[in-house]
Amino acid sequence: MTTCDRNPTKLLIILITFLCFNNIIAKNEWISDATTDQTGKIWALLIAGSNGYDNYRHQGGIPDENIIVFMYDDIAFHPSNPRPGIIINKPDGNDVYHGVPKDYTGKHVNAVNFYAAILGNKSALTGGSGKVIHSGPQDHIFIYYSDHGAAGMLGMPEGDYIFVNDLIDVLKRKHKAKNYKSMVIYVEACESGSMFEGVLPENIKIYATTASNATEDSWATYCPKQSHRSPKDYNTCLGDLFSVAWMEDSDKHDLSKETLNQQYHAVRRRTFVDKSGYGSHVMLYGNKRIGNDFLDTFLGNSPDYDNYKYSVQSPQTISSLSKLSSNSVSQRDASLIHYQYKFQEAPFGSREKMEAREQLEDEIFKRRHADNSINSIGKLLFGQARSSEILHNVRAQGQSLVDDWHCFKTFVKIYEKHCNRMSSYGMKYTRAIANICNAGITMHQMDQACLQTCLGKT
């Protein structure tokens, strides 16, 4: 199941991500004590942006009070959570919600606060704890993002999307201010490679790893009716495959002895597309020399782990033993799978059965609406013969998604103004919108095509 749907299945996956990370860092003293060059400190910013119980998987494993945490925080006591007040990140996992720090929640989980936190700009914040990254020239920064993605942008539960050009601009500004020595970014989202493909400079000391390349979905795991399935009382997936892979790899190794590159290759093997077609291509961008640094440079190493018995198995063996691809599902289908399972499991003739059927039918309708809308817009703009070729065009690897980012952002907003905000499934069509920009369509033409398609007006 891809991890790109906004559904009850999704929240579980983000959740597992944070939960596992919480186990890795263990104590809330580690980050303040962790140093790299005697004077350098470690900073971490973690964001799980989805909202709704269906996005459970994105909000797991929140770390200590010294880390900046963004989480929507609507899962633990959501009516659909079979264990109120408890959050787990894997089938046999313990509660990882109690005592979790939450710097930015609800409406404060937005792109404005995300950028402000990275830049250390408290005056730009719109709520929350006020915690930002006050890093210096010798410090190391780790940023982990988990939410719904699409070509050219990342989702947020409130406000605007995180668009490629805005994110890269913020990172360049951080580098220009000489506020870090090196930065590592892990992104869990569909088509997450598009956030860095052809746009992340190699000379600003950033090492970025993404769950998928620029054109494919990422995947959910620990889902209902799988061999490594979620508990029977859960009707959603518990984790994201990429995030589960890097967190469980971190939990198996001494972070002072495993490098970023070693983890990248281990996670890539575990997440890689197999013969069944499951999985994604984990990608690497930016300054690859940073990959020679050890993981504890960015994740720290808790004193509690001094006597921990790490696995002595090779990365290849670990990858083979823990391969979950065949038990994973495309993120784009996460919501659909959730509602199908919920409908199947509800007692015959019950109110729950009726409600589940309505939710399933609504999900199917929204998916058809997204499919039909973008196809109709394409035909209005390019004609029957050329539409499909233009909308589905994929640029060569290494080339950015779009020539004019302002056009892309504007066209996304025009589409949503007339055709409603994109669901996680509908976000699959942002590449088509980018192609419309690249084809030279004007703002007026796009507006009229969307208006005619979604409101039935000429």
417 and 282 belong to one structural domain: no
More confident residue, 402 or 300: 402
Is residue 217 included in any domain, yes or no?
yes
364 and 313 belong to one structural domain: no
Q: Which of 148, 253, 338, 418 is catalytic?
A: 148
Q: What CATH number corresponds to the domain at position 405?
A: 1.10.132.130
How many structural domains comprise the chain? 2
How far apart, in Å, are the Cα atoms of 183 and each of 1, 127, 204, 289, 356?
A: 30, 25, 9, 12, 44
> Mean pLDDT: which of 56-60, 112-116, 323-327 is highest?
112-116
Q: Which of 4, 20, 190, 454 is catalytic?
A: 190
Question: How far is Cα 12 from Cα 59, in angstroms, rounded to an integer?
Answer: 7
Please say whether the beta carbons of 5 and 333 come within 8 A.
Answer: yes
- Assess whether 454 carries a catalytic annotation: no
272 and 221 belong to one structural domain: yes
Radius of gyration, alpha carbons of the chain: 21
Question: How far is Cα 96 from Cα 23, in angstroms, rounded to an integer?
Answer: 9
Is residue 1 included in any domain, yes or no?
no
- Using the 3D structure, point to which of 300, 330, 360 is the last residue of a domain: 330
193 and 234 belong to one structural domain: yes
**396: DSSP letter:** P
318 and 190 belong to one structural domain: yes
Give me the domain span that covers residue 155. 8-330
Residue-level length of the chain: 458
Is residue 343 included in any domain, yes or no?
no
Please say whether the beta carbons of 135 and 141 come within 8 A.
Answer: yes
Q: What is the pLDDT of residue 364?
A: 93
Is residue 3 included in any domain, yes or no?
no
Largest Cα–Cα separation, the chain: 71
Question: How far is Cα 58 from Cα 221, in angstroms, rounded to an integer?
Answer: 12
What's the rounded mean pLDDT across residues 108-126?
Answer: 96
Is residue 336 included in any domain, yes or no?
no
110 and 218 belong to one structural domain: yes
Is residue 341 included in any domain, yes or no?
no
Q: Which two tokens stand for residue 268?
A: 């890539």
Residue % of the chain over a pLDDT of 90? 52
Q: What is the pLDDT of residue 277?
A: 65
Question: How far is Cα 46 from Cα 421, in angstroms, rounded to an integer?
Answer: 25
- 57-74 pLDDT tens trace: 344 333 354 588 888 876
Please say whether the beta carbons of 1 and 333 come within 8 A.
Answer: yes
Q: Which two tokens stand for residue 179?
A: 């506020």
The identity of residue 3, as a single letter, is T
Residue % of the chain over a pLDDT of 70? 71
**Three-class SS of residue 14?**
helix
449 and 300 belong to one structural domain: no
312 and 399 belong to one structural domain: no
Orientation angle between helical segments 260-271 and 241-252, nearest 10 degrees: 130
**Three-class SS of residue 286?**
strand
Q: What is the pLDDT of residue 240?
A: 82
211 and 96 belong to one structural domain: yes
Residue 77 reports pLDDT greater than 70: no
Is residue 346 included in any domain, yes or no?
no
- 330-387 pLDDT tens trace: 667 777 877 887 888 889 999 989 998 999 999 899 999 999 999 999 999 999 999 9
253 and 289 belong to one structural domain: yes
- Binned at pLDDT 50, 70 and 90, residue 391 comes out as very high
Secondary structure element (H or E) that encloses residue 188, with its range: strand 182-188
Is residue 146 included in any domain, yes or no?
yes
Q: Which two tokens stand for residue 368?
A: 């058809």
Question: How far is Cα 410 from Cα 355, in angstroms, rounded to an integer?
Answer: 37
- Assess whether 190 carries a catalytic annotation: yes
291 and 390 belong to one structural domain: no
How far apart, in Å, are the Cα atoms of 120 and each of 10, 45, 368?
A: 30, 11, 43
247 and 173 belong to one structural domain: yes
Q: What is the pLDDT of residue 41?
A: 87
Q: What CATH number corresponds to the domain at position 126?
A: 3.40.50.1460
